[in-house]
Amino acid sequence: MKKSFRKAVYAGISCVMALSMTACSGNTAGSSSAAAPSESAKAGSTQAASGGEKKVIKLFHRFPDDPANSFIEKKVAEYEAAHPDIDIEITSAQNQPYKEKIKVVVGSDEAPDIFFSWGGEFSERFIRENLILDLNPYLEKDAKWKDSLLDTQMVEYTTDDGMVYGVPFRLDGKLFFYNKDIFKKEGLEIPKTWDEFIAVCDKLKADGITPIAEGNQDQWPACHYVGTLNQMLVADDVRAKDYNPKTGEFTDPGYEKALEYYQQLVPYMNAGVNGQTHDMARLGFTQGQTAMLYAELVEITNVKQENADLNWGMFNFPVVEGSGNPDLLTGSPEGFVISSKTKYPEECVEFLKWFLGPEVGAQQAEDVGWFNASKGVDAGLKDQSLIDAYKAISSAKEMGPWFDSSLYSTVCDTYLTAISDITNGDVTPKEAMEKVQKTAKEAQSLVQ
């Protein structure tokens, strides 16, 4: 069987670090939804009940805002109530501070037992230092658990040699969100091809409506367009070779074409793209100021919070004919891993098995609007946008990794800066790729 592009990418970049990726314990009453105690937990429960010390498990995550934070706290409290020998201490931090802190503490004596970590190179740098527990033996022992997880999502937390190092907490992908009322008023149909998409943008712009909301202040939003276009215009094996810093050249003409296609979109975006954040641009969409937004599915909750009355829908990125793979859904899951330093590996595994399992996953989908990697967590959903989102992810043949997560750090920095410069009209796609090619060549000398 042909090795997937995803695994090929991570096999290639497992020797380097790509840093440019593009959070308080509760005491709520227990619930019968908590998992039954494991044998080791039962033994510890007796000790705890008789006054012995509890097993303290430190959990570190990057979701300090509600509803996610409250959900995590509630579920931890439920688990603690059902497992009196377990005390889970939660700490959290916002995205960037989290990235900075976790890279420092994982290798120290202060390492959390369970912590959030992105798939791919972000986690694999810890794996190379033997800091993450291999979950494969536990999955092999529990066929029911293994079979309950979506293969297309678990592969994102699997190394090329078969080590399973994490389980997704939330699945994600990238689709276009669109304002149904604007489309109806303008007599527009959902575009399926690039030419149809440009025609929609032309009609909107001619009628005084800003077609696309975008904010690229942090540089990762615009690169997602380019990453998706690369998937369609450059063959899987070529991208795998180029995303590997040991062999990356980026000389395939598809890369320049991808930037040219992106350049076509810039005039249809709101003013000041590089001067505002993606969240600011999304607010323009949710307030009806723009017609479309290329957004992550985890943003559905944000859209509803910002405007519960917005009449909107989603469609796939328009197909561009090329040498690549149009079947990929851009996006990656995010999940939890277990420290190899933990004193309680069995207990940590049992907690994740429950916390990231189908029952809690179904509650998470309803309460937070995020899905874990368990199959069927959409069964009780009534919100059509969430139903559509889960269908998009669960039916994807394969995920296309986030572009900024796939590149070597220096190559990524050059690429993202070049895309930002194209957005400003400061460089051409050809000039941009010449800079990327130069940096890729320099990277080869750094990692050989």
| DSSP state string for 201-234 | HHHHHHTT-EEEE---TTSHHHHHHHHHHHHHHS
Residues 47 and 85 sit within 8 Å (Cβ to Cβ): yes
Residue type, 1: M
Distance CA 10, CA 3 (A): 11
Global pTM value? 0.81
**Residue 405: per-residue pLDDT:** 79
Distance CA 377, CA 358 (A): 6
Structural domains of the chain, with CATH? 5-172+333-396 (3.40.190.10), 174-330+408-447 (3.40.190.10)
Residues 114 and 135 sit within 8 Å (Cβ to Cβ): no
**Residue 120: per-residue pLDDT:** 77
One digit per residue, the tens of pLDDT, for the chain of length 448 reads: 333 444 444 344 333 333 333 333 333 333 333 333 333 333 444 344 445 689 999 999 999 999 999 999 999 999 999 999 999 999 999 988 998 899 899 999 999 999 999 887 788 889 989 999 999 999 999 999 999 999 999 999 999 899 999 999 999 999 999 999 999 999 999 999 999 999 999 999 999 999 999 999 999 999 999 999 999 999 999 999 999 888 999 999 999 999 999 999 999 999 999 999 999 999 999 999 999 999 999 999 999 999 999 999 999 999 999 999 999 999 999 999 999 999 999 999 999 999 999 999 999 999 999 999 999 999 989 999 999 999 999 889 889 988 987 888 899 999 999 999 999 999 999 999 999 999 999 999 887 6
Output the CA torsion 200→205→211→213 (10° steps).
160
Identify whether 67 is preceded by a cis peptide bond (ω within 30 of 0). yes
**Residue 223: per-residue pLDDT:** 96
**Residue 390: per-residue pLDDT:** 93
CB atoms within 10 A of CB 302: 16
Please, what sign has the CA dihedral across residues 282, 283, 286, 291? negative
- Which residues have CB under 8 Å from 161's CB, separation 6+? none
Instruction: Write out the two tokens for 185.
Output: 């008023």
**Residue 113: per-residue pLDDT:** 98
Q: What does DSSP say about strands 174-179 and 210-213: parallel, antiparallel, or unpaired?
A: unpaired
Backbone angles phi, psi at 64, to 5 degrees: -75, -10
Instruction: Write out the two tokens for 27.
Output: 């005491």
